[in-house]
Amino acid sequence: MPPGKPMKFYPSEWRADQGLRVCSLAARGLWIECMVIMHEADPYGHLVVNGHPVTDIQLATLTGTDPSTVQLLLRELETAGVYAVSRNKVIYSRSMTRDERRRRDGEKAQKTGAKLPNSRRSQHVENNGKNSPPPEVVGGVVIDSPPGVVEPLATALLSPPLPPLFPPAPPFSPPIIPPISSQAPALGSVGTVVEAVWAMSGVDPGPKRVRGYIDDFGKAREWLEAGYGADEIIAAARSVLTSRKVNDPWSYLGKLMPDLIAAVRAEASRGSAGGDGCGGVPWDQRLSRFKDSGFWLDSWGPKPGQAGCLVPVEILRKHGFGG
């Protein structure tokens, strides 16, 4: 489809699609989003971006949801027969590809002067403006037919109906799709965590998401299903992302999140003035963790070895820092 061309959309065709009508409102909304993407795709009517099939992660990014929801809705649309899948495992719209073939046939006919197949204009030219009158039917027999020839209409009227070979199929009902997990977090919490982490990192997630390098929604859902609260995750991310530039905050936080959550919960339970005056977590524990994994919260001040470090000198020397 040439760029800038309008997309053909027929409301009557949309409402007449029985498979589409039995789908949920969310599934129908996802399909119209897919149609917009397929209108700009090459080949036209196929769910591709830059010639490559759109992944669940990319489709979730383009539609503003998470990959697990996209998988469920695509499964619902597939069960209802809304879309087709090519031999290359690419989703495509039958009606959009059909319209594109007709458009190309029309352009070819204009250039070569040929007749457009199955068009009303070509049929009109062949008839040369003369329409034959309809045949007269008497008693189910077409009068214009040769002698002894009985049209199917007469056969249907004169012969008793035959019993069906197979029992009628049961009415179609949409599939019941079970939830991903009985402990699945709300989509709002997942989105809140994702937006907050990207905002604190200062990184544009667009290129990384489209290429499928980062599953930010999946990682946020994983943390929430592990029992971490959205506020705890955001506080943990803030403690390490506000003072450093991280290109992939999700991989970086994935390694530190258990320790970060433990520190956030410890400070919340003991208070900022508890323990030995260092936020509820003893300096010995902080220094041991720093030596093992390099973990250090910004709220603890400069790291050991940096100017202005708040750790007492005797504790620094005990752990091998300083002279």
Residue 91: predicted pLDDT: 92
| Residue 256 lies in domain | 184-270
Can you give the CATH number for the domain in which 47 is found? 1.10.10
* Residues linked to residue 49 through DSSP beta bridges, in sequence order: 52
Pairing state between β 91-92 and 84-85 = antiparallel
Kindly state whether residue 39 falls inside one of the protein's structural domains.
Answer: yes
For 2-17, give one letter per residue: b (16+ CB within 10 A) or e: eeeeeeeeeeeeeeeb
Kindly state whether residue 133 falls inside one of the protein's structural domains.
Answer: no
Q: Last residue of a domain, which of 58, 76, 96?
A: 96
Kindly state whether residue 200 falls inside one of the protein's structural domains.
Answer: yes
Which structure tokens are listed for 290?
């720093």
**CB-CB contact of 59 with 73 (8 Å):** no
Kindly state whether residue 248 falls inside one of the protein's structural domains.
Answer: yes
Q: How many domains does the chain have?
A: 3
pLDDT tens by residue, the chain, 323 residues:
555 677 778 788 888 888 888 888 888 999 999 999 988 888 888 999 888 899 888 888 888 888 888 988 998 898 888 899 988 889 998 888 888 888 888 888 777 766 655 555 555 444 554 555 555 544 444 444 444 444 444 444 455 555 655 556 555 454 444 444 444 455 557 778 888 888 888 877 765 554 445 677 778 888 888 888 888 888 888 888 877 777 888 888 888 888 888 888 877 665 444 444 454 567 887 888 777 767 777 667 788 888 878 888 888 888 888 65
Kindly state whether residue 89 falls inside one of the protein's structural domains.
Answer: yes
